[in-house]
Chains A and B, each alone.
Chain A
Amino acid sequence: MSIASRTDLPVLLPFRLGRAEAPWRPNARHGAFLIAALTLSIGFAEAQAGPGDRSILATILTWTPLLAQGFALNIAMSFLAMAIGTVLGLPLGLGQVSLRAPVRGVSWFVTQFFRNSPWLVLLFYCMLLMPFEVRIGDTIVPLPGWLKSTIGLSLPVMANVAELVRGAVRSIPYGQWEASEAIAFTRMQTLRMVILPQCIKRMTPPWMNLYAILTVATPLTSVVGVSEAMTLTGDILSAEGRTELLVPLYLYLLTWFFLYCYPIARATLMLERRFQVR
């Protein structure tokens, strides 16, 4: 099986507002399982360790600062990709509800193209097609790998945000448009003052969900050689050269991601419930 076909993330599925089936979210039980598995695997690994070897726990703790550095890069990439994706996705989504057919068509195509491309493929494209530096005027701006892959990740995010925007705008009752027209609002005024403010509330939970998905997708960049937490875990393993370390260390990394995404998932759920009541 190729790697690309394994990146079939939920975010690639069509988005439905309203009574869509609840997306998978990490919950407290998953956390408990994870901690249990981590503890168990450390125990097993300790048992397998040869005499005179450093204890597994101590080894993991020694490497934790380095791992944290890598993880910080994951978070930074997720922030940046989310920001770029949102800034580009908003006009793209609005383009899909434009009154002008060409604008609508182009926006639709761009959205569908990036929404239905595997993330890893986009990542490779950005990595290989973008130059390693760009010249703006007289200054040469280097484009490091992590930046290029962040841009690569922001493309599918952009397309998914565009779909969120389109869905949210479409979900506002038509009467709101009519009432705005009747008090002589222009289309822009209607969007800015009536439609979008109501959309933000509806879009926030799925937007946060998308962010969580993006965050757990950032280790994809290890495939194209970015020194984020996943790459560093591999490096640590080859530096230690101890096979029994493999399972606990990857579980340890998994726990980091869980601890970061779990609160986001909880907050998303809370917001969804609150908005449903109103």
Chain B
Amino acid sequence: MTAWTPDQPLVRLTDVHKSFRGVVVLQRISFDVTKGEVVCVIGPSGAGKSTLLRCINALVPIERGSILVEGQEVNDPKLDKLALRRKVGMVFQQYNLFPHRTALQNVMMAPIHVLKRDRREVEAEARKLIRKVRLEGKEDAYPGELSGGQQQRIAIARSLAMNPDVMLFDEVTAALDPETVKEVLVTIRELAEEGMTCVIVTHEMGFAREVADEIYFTDGGLLVEHGPPKDFFANPRDPRTRQFLDQIL
């Protein structure tokens, strides 16, 4: 295997197949994400979008095909999953913060225990990250004391604390109140503008149009269509895409 260089795709999926107990969830999925690119994956529920993200950081094993993250094969039994996950951050729909730890501790845990870094240094960075997601003053709050949007932003900070090369967002606003959706989207957009490579699964079409470099539409486990947001939303080619967009917009 040749060494990975930043001009190659950061994430490359080739012919990925995945099924759960005979039900095909993903088939023939191929796409590239280059460094600094923001990719949005949209599609109806059950299209395999969340599974797709989980395959990229090896939370879910795939059956066939290849996923390369910085040149490292994810579909390999000898894969160092922990090393992979240090490079790939993930944010979940249900935030999944650790309820017995404060916001600050949630952000600090991974760098301290996984990267074995100095606690004081980590704390300074964690406080900076919490400021970055605009939650200064909430450092000592427990997740239960925070609103959904605030929890989700702490979850983003927790992922960022590992200093990942790519961030995966799995319908991060789907469980939020409409009025708190915006604050989370603003946080993600800022990240994207700073050049963070992002793969975003979302139902927020307006957001996808604004932030994405490339939009992928999935249905029934297939990548139906993709393109830059302007083209994608203006002239969807596939009838399924058109039908989906008609329902949503």
Contacts and interface: CB of A to CB of B under 8 A. Distances in A.
Contact of B144 (A185, A194, A197, A278): A278
13 contacts: A175-B96, A176-B98, A178-B59, A179-B97, A182-B92, A183-B110, A184-B81, A184-B162, A185-B114, A189-B114, A197-B100, A198-B100, A278-B144
A198 B81 CA distance: 25
A179 B92 contact: yes
A59 interface: no
A24 B29 CA distance: 57
B89 interface: yes
Contact of A182 (B57, B83, B99): B57
B162 A183 contact: yes
A185 B98 CA distance: 13
A147 to B, nearest CB: 37
Interface of A: 173, 175-176, 178-179, 181-186, 189, 193-194, 197-198, 201, 278
A193 B155 CA distance: 17
Given A176-B98, A194-B98, A278-B144, A185 B92 contact: no
Given A179-B97, A183-B114, 12 more contacts: A173-B96, A175-B94, A176-B96, A178-B96, A179-B155, A182-B88, A182-B89, A184-B86, A184-B114, A186-B82, A193-B109, A201-B100
Contacts of B89: 182-183
B82 A182 contact: no
Contacts of B83: 184
Interface string B69-101: 000000000000111011011101010111110
B183 to A, nearest CB: 21
B159 interface: yes
A176 B155 CA distance: 12
Interface string B152-193: 000100110010000000000000000000000000000000
Nearest to B97: A179
B100 A183 contact: no
A183 B158 contact: yes
Nearest to A174: B96
Given A179-B92, A198-B99, A198-B100, A184 B110 contact: yes
Given A178-B59, A189-B113, A193-B109, A184 B82 contact: yes
Contacts of B82: 184, 186
A184 B109 CA distance: 11
Contacts of B100: 197-198, 201
A75 to B, nearest CB: 32
A14 to B, nearest CB: 27
Given A178-B96, A189-B113, A194-B98, A183 B59 contact: no
A183 B109 contact: yes
Nearest to B162: A183
A94 B113 CA distance: 21
A184, A185, A198, A201: most-surrounded residue (chain B CB, <10 A): A184
B81 to A, nearest CB: 8
Contacts of A179: 92, 96-98, 155
